Chains A and B, each alone.
Chain A
């Protein structure tokens, strides 16, 4: 599995902003706010679910948690974390536990960065994520 970079790269930031702008174009700022709130609230729960599955040695549950999180992250343009989920999902069945643990740790770091970024972006009154 690839090491993660510190912070999101500019291309990913553009993806995230485009995802938020598409949401806003469709349903206005309220839809952006509500969906981002749900997304951000569920993200740590999903990472915790992956950790619990790993601790229990339940590889199917780990794959399911990664799969579910991947879709949400992808919808919001969080491509690096979505890729980490895809790698984890693919590795869940056969990779050594230590590799899966590293994968979950990496996913947790990427999600934490992602969460902080989205919280800042949504909170900013004139953020480019919600262009008029």
Chain B
């Protein structure tokens, strides 16, 4: 049975998410503050975290950052009352894999958690992927660029792995939603665009030769060939 940690200081939301997840057959622990969440997240082995951003004694973003710094790859879904692009970017930059603005539909919450757990449970196996100086060591979520380690979240890793396997080919947004996010429907958010932008920035900052370009009206492409990058 998959095990979740639900963190929300709002009693109603905490209870709502816990009940909904238990209805879906998960074992659920819950915390209502940062200290309690931190104590559980670093000791227990969870399949996913459902984490509110605003906590009375800290933030979910800080917890996500701490977990990632310690090498914890537990998938994190952020719940947030703020849905401005900058808030979303901050959340994903902190190490979250996905976000869901409040209010939310419980069916969508369940689908997002299922997708996170599937991806987390299916640790990528097989040989490392390499392309133009990028090396992706699957199973450890380790990305290096010309031998230099580049920090990335499990979601970014999965996105890049998918793009590397299709390098120099255009990949549509729908394909990315289906294959990387395991969503057969458009969630009506810009989650793909935000992750692509972040990954593009990381590749650029790390000096990677391959670039993640936007092919207007078609999708995205990882290319090591010089072109009119977007």
- Interface positions of A (Cβ within 8 A of B): 19, 22-23, 26-27, 31, 34-35, 38-39, 42, 64, 67-68, 70-72, 74-76
Contacts and interface: CB of A to CB of B under 8 A. Distances in A.
- Interface centre among B13, B20, B102, B103, by most chain A C-beta atoms within 10 angstroms, is B103
A15 B143 CA distance: 46
User: What is the interface of chain B mostly: helix, strand, loop, or mixed?
Assistant: helix
Nearest to B8: A71
Given A22-B106, A35-B12, A38-B11, A71 B81 contact: yes
Given A26-B20, A26-B23, A34-B19, A72 B10 contact: yes
A63 B226 CA distance: 49
A27 B106 contact: yes
Contacts, number: 54
B15 A38 contact: yes
A50 B39 CA distance: 31
A31 B12 contact: no
Contacts of A26: 20, 23, 106-107
B10 A68 contact: yes
Given A67-B54, A67-B81, A74-B103, A42 B19 contact: no
A67 B107 CA distance: 24
User: What is the interface of chain A mostly: helix, strand, loop, or mixed?
Assistant: helix
Interface residues of B, number: 18
A70 B82 CA distance: 11
A75 B103 contact: yes
B106 A23 contact: yes
A39 B20 contact: no
